[in-house]
Amino acid sequence: MSLFRQLVEIALDDPKPAGASHPVFTTGSLAAIELDPSPIEPSWIISGDPQASGKLHSASADALSSTSIWACTAGAFRWNFVWDETVHIVSGSVDVTDETGTRTTLVAGDVAYFAAGSWATWEIRDHVKKIAFCRRPFPRPVLAAMGMKRRVAGLLRGGAAPAPQAGAGLAQVTAKGS
């Protein structure tokens, strides 16, 4: 097969669903998931004795995304978000102060997003429990290659593939309750 044909195959290839070695569907009752101790880095603790626990619920076959359940008792600490993380608070509450000093209270039912590489201060008065949807960001060279793949695929299909816009197709919530 020619190199050109191989490049065409790669450009037109879509990700395949998980195979037999990786589950394609995972379910369970949130109440039935037993959490394991997951200590907070001691140097991050500001006050109190926050006791964290968590459990991995599921992960993608490529290990670039995961869903976890996490809970913590009262205390204050700084948290480093290594992955992009969207959280859904299922019980309790937490006061979050971001790097700019903006303070927000998250309560059961709220959803929040934290970018990879960011820090936030979490202050928990009693307890908080969340579902965390995490995604590992791709390195810039990989993002560039993926953009090139989209553009080449568009050209091979007879059109031009526009460069994706950040947040395209997603409404950004700018104020709580919006």
Cβ-in-10-Å burial (0-12, 13-18, 19+) of 169 comes to exposed
Reported as a single tens digit per residue, the pLDDT across 31-79 is 999 999 999 999 999 999 999 999 999 888 877 899 999 999 999 999 9
Per-residue confidence (pLDDT) for residue 178, from 0 to 100: 42
| Alpha carbons 147 and 139: distance in angstroms, whole number | 13
Pairing of strands 36-37, 119-135: unpaired
| Alpha carbons 138 and 177: distance in angstroms, whole number | 31
CB 135 within 8 Å of CB 83:
yes
CATH superfamily of 32-135: Jelly Rolls (2.60.120.10)
Per-residue confidence (pLDDT) for residue 172, from 0 to 100: 41
Reported as a single tens digit per residue, the pLDDT across 60-71 is 887 789 999 999
Residues of the chain with pLDDT under 50: 1-4, 6-8, 10-11, 167-178
DSSP SS3 for 65: strand
Per-residue confidence (pLDDT) for residue 80, from 0 to 100: 94
Residue type, 114: F
State which H helix or E strand residue 48 sits in.
strand 45-48
Per-residue confidence (pLDDT) for residue 148, from 0 to 100: 81
Per-residue confidence (pLDDT) for residue 2, from 0 to 100: 43
| Alpha carbons 103 and 96: distance in angstroms, whole number | 6
* Whole-structure pTM value: 0.71
